[in-house]
Amino acid sequence: MASRSFPVSLARRAFASPRSPRVASRTIPLAARPLSSLWEAYRPAVRIAGQRRAFSATSRSRFADVDETFDPRQQERESDEVDVCIVGGGPAGLSAAIRLKQLANEAGNEDFRVLLLEKAGELGDHIVSGNVMEPSALNELLPDWNSEDNPNRFEHTTPAKVDKMRFLTKNGSIPLPKPPQMNNHGNYILSLNQLVKWLGERAEEVGVEIYPGFAASELLYDHEGVVKGVATNDLGISREGKPKDSFERGMEFHARVTLLGEGCHGSLAKQAIKKYDLRRDSQHQTYGLGIKEIWEIQPEKFQSGLIAHSLGYPLPTDTYGGGWMYHFGDNLVSIGLVVGLDYPNPWLAPYGEFQKMKQHPFYREFLEGGKCISYGARTLIEGGFQSIPKCAFPGGALIGDTAGFVNLPKIKGTHTAMRSGMLAAEASWDALQGNQSGTVFLYDYEDKLRNSSIWTELKQVRNMRPSFHNPLGLYGGVLYSGLTAYLFRGKEPWTFKHGKPDHAATKTADQCKKIEYPKPDGKISFDILTSVSRSGTNHEEDQPVHLQVKDWDKHTQMEWPKYKGVENRFCPAGVYEYVEDESKDLGVRFQINAQNCVHCKTCDIKDPSQDINWSTPQGGEGPKYVLT
């Protein structure tokens, strides 16, 4: 029987919400199959647990029955064939998608299919960033993005005007000179959440197919071990791992090229890095945890375009990190703290440090009388040049924060993420034009990276972050960073190595001083569950816990005696607890409140025993960030 197809747009109209990104009309080819099953491909789309899905040809057999041995993974998955599949709807993924369709449309190949999967219910829902954006990459991708003559211009920008750098003591602040790389002239303060939504609209205009609410959970390989696409996770699985009445098998998306733009510490990127040994020539990655709030402050305190950064208090001298405050929009302030996850003291709680920071006079004077309207948290890449892995693998590539292109001393990564996506797009397009059937390996992408401004930027500042691993801690790092910024300018012939991996840097509780955090006042500082409520986080409770720990009791035995509940403190969302339980040998029971998870990935990175694996929950779940 001849192959058939049906327009995605017809199915999608059944569940599109007013806030959902539009999906360009495309066709999904259906492989030849018996007439008795073809009708099911035309069944109306339905909304399940907030996801946008359509019933596939195996729908009739997807419901639980009395057979307790039923394994849902034995059910056949529906599949779709595209030219390029991009995982992640952040700046890197959307830039890659737009550039690919620009190239295809310019060549007259409008049937070239570029599909983008995003685990959030809507584009931008999981995006957290400062953000002061250097517009160089966006100027190249969409030259009229901020033009007054463009009716679809991105309107939510605040030009950077004033830079302040302070070293904070407990009650005072000392002005510091602004390093050259932190010059923000020509940059813009904005909400990356809003920018990503706008980029999604531009992507649809050029014909990119965007599938929000689809959580890619598995890399697919051909018989030679080449990545041939991804699969999304199953829906309707109970907490015990059994199929419910709403069970639906995930989908497979097959592609000649698969680009992974999942952001920091992506779950699929972890699989690819391990399988292809992509870190064989690089150092381990290092990370920071960024915790952020958006405030609406009193108009008389608002200073449009103000950019302030701080070092020192409240963090101890053996802990890397710093605070920020950006004034943007109409009386809005972005305020946050980044804590390097190689901090040694297990009693330290990044969330508690952030609450203390806001009480410092330097920040409190702006926040007092204002209102906190949004909260978010996310890990970020800090490893820089030394930690960049091989970025191309058989059948695909790593892009953006997934690969680690953040310029940490510059406190910027959006422009490098976007540029990496564009370079990967150009390499993918060229490779596919010259290779119609064989394995695609993006050698050209690796070459483009090394010849790009990304490489130049990161190499120049390569020694700043690892310089903080010295006997003087913070002070030694600041001193060396000043020398390399003003004198060496990255031309020093040496390259420092990073210290221990973040999880291995954690000392035992008995080696460190216990930290007692003040009770929140409910005006400037808040308890953690109040903050989580401002993130819009939601997960269906009856599903497998996506924070995977094989044996919770064994985890307790490994962690509690040494670290006395470090998971309670490194998590910025109250996910982990040790609850008193006299029936347990240690008198405590390890508990995971997965519904609270804001998808920051801190646990996967910082857990000393590396016993927690962050995996994707059902698509469309997690935080629903606003203005972050």
Task: State yes or no: pLDDT of 389 exceeds 90.
Answer: yes
Q: Is the dihedral of CA 13, 17, 22, 28 positive or negative?
A: negative
List, in sequence order, every beta strand (DSSP E) within 149-234.
Answer: 158-159, 162-168, 173-175, 188-189, 209-212, 216-221, 227-232
129 is catalytic: yes
The residues spanned by each domain of the chain are 75-155+191-283+384-462
Catalytic choice (258, 374, 414, 556): 414
Q: Assess contact for 128 and 378: CB atoms under 8 A.
A: yes
Give pairs for 4-9: CB < 8 Å, separation 24+: 4/29, 4/30, 4/38, 4/41, 5/29, 5/30, 6/30, 6/41, 6/42, 8/209
Please identify which of the residues 85, 391, 512, 600 carries the catalytic annotation.
Answer: 600
Q: What is the pLDDT of residue 245?
A: 87
- What is the model's pLDDT at position 570? 98
> Per the confidence metrics, is the pTM higher than 0.85?
yes
Average pLDDT over residues 380-394: 97
Contact 462, 384 (CB under 8 A): yes
Who wins on pLDDT, 472 or 122? 122
Render pLDDT for 399-413 as a digit per residue (tens, 0 to 9): 999 999 999 999 999
pLDDT band at 610 (very low <50, low <70, confident <90, very high): very high
Q: Which of these is catalytic: 535, 603, 616, 628?
A: 603
Please give the residue that has the higher pLDDT: either 363 or 13. 363
Specify the DSSP class assigned to residue 610: -
Looking at 99, 334, 597, 616, which residue is catalytic? 597
Specify whether domain 75-155+191-283+384-462 bears CATH 1.10.357.10: no
| pLDDT confidence of residue 484 | 83
pLDDT at 23 over 50: no
* 264 has catalytic annotation: no
Q: What percent of the chain has pLDDT over 90?
A: 80
* Per-residue confidence (pLDDT) for residue 72, from 0 to 100: 63
Catalytic residue chosen out of the listed positions 334, 420, 571, 628:
571
pLDDT band at 439 (very low <50, low <70, confident <90, very high): confident
Measured in degrees and rounded to the nearest 5, phi and psi for residue 584 equal -95, 150
Indicate if 85 belongs to the active site: no
**CA distance linking residue 625 with residue 628, whole number of Å:** 6
**Mind listing the pLDDT tens digit for each residue in 105-137?**
999 999 999 999 999 999 999 999 989 999 999
Respond yes or no: is residue 600 known to be catalytic.
yes
391 included as an active-site residue:
no
Is residue 289 very low, low, confident or very high in pLDDT (cuts 50, 70, 90)?
Answer: very high
Q: Between vectors from CA 87 to CA 82 and to CA 93, what angle results, nearest 5°?
A: 100
Spot the catalytic one: 378, 462, 465, 569.
378
Q: Which of 56, 95, 129, 191 is catalytic?
A: 129
pLDDT on residue 20: 37
597 is catalytic: yes
Residue 51 is predicted with a pLDDT of: 36
